[in-house]
């Protein structure tokens, strides 16, 4: 495998993985909006935006 291909693969796949992980982490850690919101299963969550 050539260095150029290896660098390309590592850069692209790492970037995509990091961005995906970042957005998903942000989704998981952002408190929900005040009720009524769109989601039926978070009614008992106290911490709201």
Q: Which is nearer to another protein, 39 or 46 (CB)?
A: 39
d(CA 18, CA 49) in angstroms, rounded, equals: 25
> Minimal distance in Å, beta carbon 47 to another protein?
14
d(CA 25, CA 9) in angstroms, rounded, equals: 24
Q: Which residues contact another protein by CB under 8 A? A: 1-2, 4-6, 8-9, 12-13, 16-17, 19-20, 23-24, 26-28, 30, 32-33, 36-42
Residue of 30, 32, 28, 29 lying closest to 44 (CA atoms): 32
> Minimal distance in Å, beta carbon 26 to another protein?
6
């Amino acid at each position: 495998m050539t260095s150029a291909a290896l660098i390309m693969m590592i850069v692209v796949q790492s970037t995509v993985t990091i961005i995906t992980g970042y957005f998903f982490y942000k989704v998981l850690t952002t408190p929900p909006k005040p009720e009524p919101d769109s989601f039926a299963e978070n009614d008992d969550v106290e911490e709201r935006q």
